[in-house]
Amino acid sequence: MSGQSTPARRGRARFTVALTEGSFRVMHGKKVLTIFPAADLPGAEAPADFVIRLDEILTWDAPHQDSEIDIEDLQKIVEVIADECEKHGLVVEFE
């Protein structure tokens, strides 16, 4: 799975995601965001392969840590992660 990426289908700039060992790496131009999935949701009927807490996604990784991730970019990040998981038959939940 490592090294494969999926581009966002729409938007002003291209977003790609790579599924790495235990994380998602989202790239947008020179900016990178590493997302480590959280523990499964308590009481979930069917366990997800990955749970991502959206309220923890605030800024890009260094050296762009001062750049906040706006709602439009967050929506594109969710889209590329969901597409990548679907492509690999994985279940992702966004909380």
Residue recorded with tokens 């994985």 = 90
At 15 the three-state DSSP class reads strand
- The total domain count for the chain is 1
pLDDT digits (tens, 9 = 90+) for 37-74: 987 766 767 788 899 999 999 999 999 999 999 999 99
Pull the structure tokens for residue 51.
Answer: 């749970």
pTM to 2 decimal places: 0.81
Position 10 confidence tier, pLDDT thresholds 50, 70, 90: very low
User: CA-to-CA distance for 28 and 15, rounded, in angstroms?
Assistant: 5
pLDDT higher than 90, residue 35: yes
Helices (H), 1-95: 71-87
Domain boundaries, position 53: 5-94
Give yes or no for residue 34 having a pLDDT over 90: yes
Q: CA torsion 20→22→26→27, rounded to 10°? A: -40
Structure tokens at 61: 């990784």
